[in-house]
Amino acid sequence: MQAAATPPNFNFRREVSRMLKLAVPVALAELGWMSMTIVDTIMVGHLGPAAIGATGIGSSAYYSFAIFGMGLLLGLDTLVSQSYGAGDREDCHHSLAQAVYLALLLTPLLMTLFAFMPPVFNAFGVNEQVSALAGPYLTTLSWSTLPLLLYGACRRYLQGVGHVRPVMFVLLSSNLVNWFGNWLLIDGHWGLPALGVPGSAMSTCFARLYMAATLGAFIWWLERGTGPGFGSLIRKPEVKRIGLLLRIGFPAATQILLEIGAFGAAAVLAGRLSPAALAAHQIALNCAALSYMVPLGVSSAAAVAVGQAIGRREPVSARRDGFIAIGLGCAFMLCAAVAFLTVPGPILRVYTDDVQVLSVGTGLLAIAALFQLFDGIQTVATGALRGLGNTRTPMLVVLGGYWLFGLPIGYFLCFRGKLGIYGLWIGLSIALIVIAVVLMSSWQRHSLAQMAAPAMMFPPPPGILAP
C-alpha cells in the first residue's frame, strides 16, 4: 500500500496565496454571471413594468431548469481535477468529451420542457400583459441552452486543470457583448428591427454563443503543443464515463434545485404579506445572493484544489486546502456581515427610497448578517466535498435543512408566531446553521477517511470516494 504523500516545507502564506489565485478569478466570474440578468433587467426597464416583470419571470422559469442541467456537469470538477492531479491529461480530455455528449443529450430535453412552459404562466394567474411578453422571451432564450451547457463543460474543464482566468475574462466580457446586443435589438439600432423583450433574450443567446466559443478557443490555445494534444478531445460517446458524470453530477444538480425551490417557496410565502414586506424580502435576498457569489467562487476553487491533491495522492494537502478555502469563504462573509449590520441604509437605498421598505429591509439585513458566516461554511464545504467526489451528502443535508427545518419553522414563526417576514428569515437562518454544521462535520470526517486509506484514492479510471 502506497503511503500518503505529505508535501514538505509547508508555508501558510504561500498556500493561502495559491488558493486566492484560484478563488478570486472564479469569484469574479460568478459575479459576472449574476450581472447578466441585471443587465437584461436594466436594458428593458424603459419598456415599462410589464417588460421588467416578463424578463424576471422568463429568466426565473428558464434558470430553474437550465441550472439543473448545468449542475449535471459538476462531475467534471471531480474527474478532471483528480485526473490532472494524477498527471493524466488524456483522461481529462476523456471526461470533457463525454460532457459535451451529455450536453448534446440534455439540450433537446430541456428545450422541449421550455416549449411547454409559456401556457403555464396563464394557468398560474400571471398578469396577461406580463405573460404575453414572458412567453416569447422564454421561447427565444431556450435557444441559448446548448451554448450554455457547452460553456459549462468548457468552464469546468478549465477550472479542473487550474486555468481560471479565461473563465473570469469570458464572463466579464460577455456582459459587454450582452449589453451591446440589448442596445442593438431591443429598440433597433443600425437598421435592425426593434424586437423589444424578445430582443433581450436574443442578445443573451448571442452572448452565450460567444461564451462557449471563446472558452473552446482558450482550450485549443492552451492545449496546443502539449501531450496528448487537442486532437484527443475527438472521441466516441462512452456510456460508462457519461454514467460516472451523472453519478456525481445528479446529486449536485438536485441540491441546486432544492435550494432554488426553497427560496422560491419563501418568495411565495412572502407574497402573502404586505407589498413592503415582499419588496424588502426581495431586496435583502438580492443583497445576500450577491455576497453569496464570492464563497460560491471559493467553493469551485476548493473543489479543484482538493481534487488535484487527491489525484496526486496527497490527502494531507487535500484536507488542508479544504480548510484554507473554508477559512477564506468565512473571512469574506464576516466582512459582508459587518457591512449588513453597520451600513444597511446605503445598501438598501441602491434599490429604493421607500421608508417602509427601508425599515423592514434593515431588520432583514441584520438577520442576513447572522447567517453569513454559516452560508460561507456550507457553500465552500460543499465544494471541498465535491473535490472528493461526494455530492450525495450535501444534497441530503440541503433537503433536510431547508425542507424539514427551515421552511416549516419559518412558516410557523411567520404566520402562527406573528413575526411576519422576520419569522420566515429566522427559519431560513436556522436551516443554514444546521446545514453548515452538518457539512463541516462531514468534511472533517471524509477528509480524515482519505488520510486513513490513501491507496484507494485514485485507481484508474478516476476513483470516486464513496459517500
Of residues 16 and 308, the one with the higher pLDDT is: 308
Write out pLDDT tens, residues 96-117. Answer: 889 999 999 999 999 999 888 8
Domain membership flag for residue 2: no
User: Quick one: 172 and 283 in the same domain?
Assistant: no
Residue 464 has pLDDT above 50, yes or no: no
Domain membership flag for residue 5: no
Closest CA relative to residue 59, chosen from 133, 122, 159, 2: 133
The Cα–Cα gap between 6 and 317 comes to: 7
Give the number of other Cβ atoms within 10 Å of residue 33's Cβ.
Answer: 19
At residue 467, the pLDDT reads: 38
- Could you tell me the end-to-end alpha-carbon distance of the chain, in angstroms, rounded to an integer? 22
User: Quick one: 320 and 284 in the same domain?
Assistant: yes
Domain membership flag for residue 17: no
User: Quick one: 388 and 272 in the same domain?
Assistant: yes
Of the ranges 173-182, 263-272, 377-386, the best mean pLDDT one: 377-386
Give the count of alpha carbons within 13 A of 68, CB side only: 18
Tell me which of 237, 264, 285 is where a domain ends.
237
Residue with the three cell numbers 476523456:
94
Write out pLDDT tens, residues 143-188. Answer: 999 999 999 899 889 988 888 888 888 888 888 898 898 898 888 8
Question: Among 156-170, 212-226, 230-244, 327-341, where is mean pLDDT lowest?
Answer: 230-244
User: Quick one: 219 and 320 in the same domain?
Assistant: no
Domain membership flag for residue 368: yes
User: Quick one: 113 and 210 in the same domain?
Assistant: yes
Residue 311 has pLDDT above 90, yes or no: no
* Chain CA centroid to CA 396, Å: 18
At residue 427, the pLDDT reads: 92
Domain of residue 97 covers 25-237
Q: Is 394 helix (H, G, I), strand (E, B) or coil?
A: helix
Write out pLDDT tens, residues 79-100. Answer: 888 888 888 888 888 888 899 9
Write out pLDDT tens, residues 391-437. Answer: 999 999 999 999 998 999 998 998 888 888 899 899 999 999 999 99
441-458: average pLDDT: 74
At residue 288, the pLDDT reads: 87
Per-residue three-class SS string for 180-244: HHHHHHCCCCCCCCCCCHHHHHHHHHHHHHHHHHHHHHHHHHHHCCCCCCHHHHCCCCCHHHHHH
User: Quick one: 266 and 215 in the same domain?
Assistant: no
Residue 442 has pLDDT above 70, yes or no: yes
Domain membership flag for residue 4: no
User: Quick one: 206 and 341 in the same domain?
Assistant: no
User: Quick one: 255 and 227 in the same domain?
Assistant: no
- Residue 450 in grid coordinates: 482519505
User: Quick one: 271 and 405 in the same domain?
Assistant: yes
Residue with the three cell numbers 402573502:
272
User: Quick one: 227 and 255 in the same domain?
Assistant: no
At residue 10, the pLDDT reads: 62
57-69: average pLDDT: 81
User: Quick one: 169 and 318 in the same domain?
Assistant: no
- Whether the full predicted model's pTM is greater than 0.95, yes or no, is no
Banded pLDDT at 463 (limits 50, 70, 90):
very low
Average per-residue pLDDT in the chain?
83
Domain membership flag for residue 427: yes
Domain membership flag for residue 16: no
Residue 225 has pLDDT above 70, yes or no: no
Residue 40 has pLDDT above 90, yes or no: no
Rama region for 216: left / alpha / beta (φ>0; ψ in -120 to 50; rest): alpha
455-466: average pLDDT: 44
Domain count, the chain: 2
User: Quick one: 394 and 433 in the same domain?
Assistant: yes
Domain membership flag for residue 33: yes
**What value, to the nearest 5°, has the Cα angle with vertex 194 and ends 150 and 47?**
95
Say if residues 258 and 398 touch (Cβ distance below 8 Å): yes
Residues 6+ apart with CB under 8 A from 414: 269, 273, 420, 421, 422, 423, 424, 427
Question: Among 81-90, 113-122, 262-271, 292-301, where is mean pLDDT lowest?
Answer: 262-271
Tell me which of 209, 237, 265 is where a domain ends.
237
The Cα–Cα gap between 324 and 305 comes to: 10
